[in-house]
């Protein structure tokens, strides 16, 4: 079975890529295109899976399930192709693509069970689970695309090497893409935490004997389940927004309609460093410059996020936490008003945990203390 699958994937990839240029393309940038195509196909499967449990007609539900299976199969193959073609340096892209593929495969298995099942209640539950998993496949596939090289971008960069005066383009759209990707990661981690907590409390409920404690556990579980439902809705909205943004960016790159000068955003007001303007790497556990500095802390993440995802947000400072994970702060402002504007913008996109932190000569201080220093 594994041999057959490997052969099938190879044939699928070979259909799109001439054999003579396969080794050259492996070090190129097709992974991003394949994983985005996988996300779009998984999104089609999501739509049909949803219809399978919404429609009343069994005949229509069966047709929708068949369509969902067809699209998720194609999504798996496309995402697999992205993984096969990825270069050794694109580890984060491969990791998220693998996660997307796993979600897609789980959705596929549930849909196949749906087709064979006769009990309507079980069928409903299987379709609902498949819908949730395919939605996750879409989100993770789009997330993976941020870590793969962009073919169109590479072509533009080659052209730009001739005209060295043209700066790297960063628009509000790029920053929105970045922030929604971070929001997606945040929602994913929070949902997983809630699920683990519900599972833990449910196991505790099975053995508890005190009625009062049992009632309290039930209330906590109910509260967490409600929060989980809200997070899933937010995740859906984020996924839809990411799809729109990615489409707009692809269209922009295709038409080469971007202006030659970088677009001014609130993050353009970040303090600059002459050599690299802070935009090459994440500064992990780095010392802050002297003076009064405002930053926007955007949250805690269990995994280290590579610098490519923060395009347009400069600088990016990361601080490792003793029990694992990293907290990130973006921007570096000299005025509270600029920091407030940046915070409001970040929060308006859904990263509601964002808040302002301030330091003076490398030491954390309070906002009132900063206000007094700024007036001097």
Strands 292-301 and 283-284: unpaired
Please determine, for residue 272, whether its predicted confidence score (pLDDT) is greater than 70.
no
Neighbours of 329 (CB within 10 A): 24
**Contact (Cβ atoms closer than 8 angstroms) between residue 314 and residue 271:** no
Residues 123-145 have pLDDT tens digits of 888 988 898 888 888 888 887 88
Residues 33-67 have pLDDT tens digits of 888 888 888 888 888 888 887 777 788 888 889 88
- Average pLDDT of the chain is 76
Residues 326-359 have pLDDT tens digits of 888 888 888 999 999 989 888 888 888 888 999 9
Return phi, psi of residue 264, to 5°.
-70, 130
CA distances from 210 to 17, 70, 199, 220, 237 (A): 65, 51, 19, 15, 41
pLDDT confidence tier of residue 189, bands split at 50, 70 and 90: confident
Neighbours of 152 (CB within 10 A): 16
**For the chain, domain boundaries:** 2-149, 182-255, 266-375
Strand (E) or helix (H) holding 235: helix 211-255
Q: 3-state class of 316 per DSSP?
A: strand
pLDDT confidence tier of residue 277, bands split at 50, 70 and 90: very low
Neighbours of 60 (CB within 10 A): 13
Using the structure block, give the residue that is written with the tokens 């590479």.
Answer: 154
**How far is C-alpha 20 from the geometric centre of its chain's CA atoms?**
34
Contacts of residue 159, defined as CB under 8 A and 6 or more positions apart, other chains included, come to none
The torsion of the CA quartet 9, 10, 12, 14, rounded to 10 degrees, works out to 160
CA distances from 241 to 18, 44, 180, 258, 308 (A): 35, 16, 8, 20, 20
Does the domain at 2-149 match CATH 1.10.8? Answer given as: no
The stretch 262-271 carries a mean pLDDT of 71
**Contact (Cβ atoms closer than 8 angstroms) between residue 350 and residue 238:** yes
The closest alpha carbon to 297, from 241, 237, 359, belongs to 359
What is residue 283's DSSP assignment? E
pLDDT number for residue 155: 46
- In b/e form, how buried is each residue of 228-243, taking b as 16+ CB within 10 angstroms? beebbebbbebbebbb
Distance CA 51, CA 128 (A): 10
Residues 77-122 have pLDDT tens digits of 889 888 888 887 788 888 889 989 999 999 999 999 999 988 888 8
Strand (E) or helix (H) holding 284: strand 283-284
């Amino acid at each position: 079975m594994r041999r057959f699958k490997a052969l099938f994937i190879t044939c699928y990839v070979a259909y799109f890529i001439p054999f003579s240029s396969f080794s050259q393309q492996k070090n190129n940038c097709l992974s991003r295109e394949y994983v985005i195509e996988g996300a779009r196909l998984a999104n089609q499967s999501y739509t049909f899976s949803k219809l399978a449990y919404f429609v009343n007609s069994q005949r229509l539900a069966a047709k929708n399930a068949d369509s969902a299976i067809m699209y998720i199969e194609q999504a798996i193959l496309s995402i697999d192709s992205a993984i096969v073609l990825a270069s050794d340096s694109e580890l984060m892209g491969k990791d998220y693509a693998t996660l997307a593929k796993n979600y897609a495969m789980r959705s596929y298995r549930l849909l196949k069970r749906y087709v064979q099942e006769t009990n309507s209640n079980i069928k409903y539950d299987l379709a609902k689970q498949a819908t949730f998993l395919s939605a996750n496949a879409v989100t993770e596939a789009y997330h993976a695309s941020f870590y793969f090289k962009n073919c169109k971008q590479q072509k533009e960069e080659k052209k730009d090497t001739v005209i060295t005066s043209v700066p790297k383009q960063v628009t509000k759209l790029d920053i929105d893409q970045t922030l929604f990707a971070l929001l997606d990661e945040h929602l994913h981690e929070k949902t997983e935490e809630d699920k683990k907590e519900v599972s833990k409390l449910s196991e505790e409920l099975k053995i508890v004997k005190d009625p009062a404690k049992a009632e309290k556990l039930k209330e906590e579980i109910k509260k967490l389940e409600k929060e989980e439902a809200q997070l899933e809705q937010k995740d859906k909205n984020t996924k839809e927004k990411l799809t729109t943004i990615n489409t707009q960016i692809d269209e922009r790159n295709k038409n080469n309609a971007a202006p030659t000068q970088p677009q001014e955003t609130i993050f353009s007001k970040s303090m600059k460093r002459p050599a690299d303007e802070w935009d090459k790497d994440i500064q992990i556990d780095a010392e802050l410059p002297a003076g009064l500095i405002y930053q926007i802390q955007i949250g805690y993440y269990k995994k280290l996020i590579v610098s490519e995802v923060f395009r347009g947000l400069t600088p990016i400072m990361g601080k490792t936490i003793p029990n694992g994970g990293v907290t990130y702060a973006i921007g570096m402002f000299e005025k509270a008003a600029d920091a407030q504007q940046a915070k409001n913008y970040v929060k308006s996109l859904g990263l509601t945990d964002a808040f302002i932190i301030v330091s003076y000569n490398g030491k954390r201080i309070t906002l009132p203390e900063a206000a007094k220093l700024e007036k001097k």
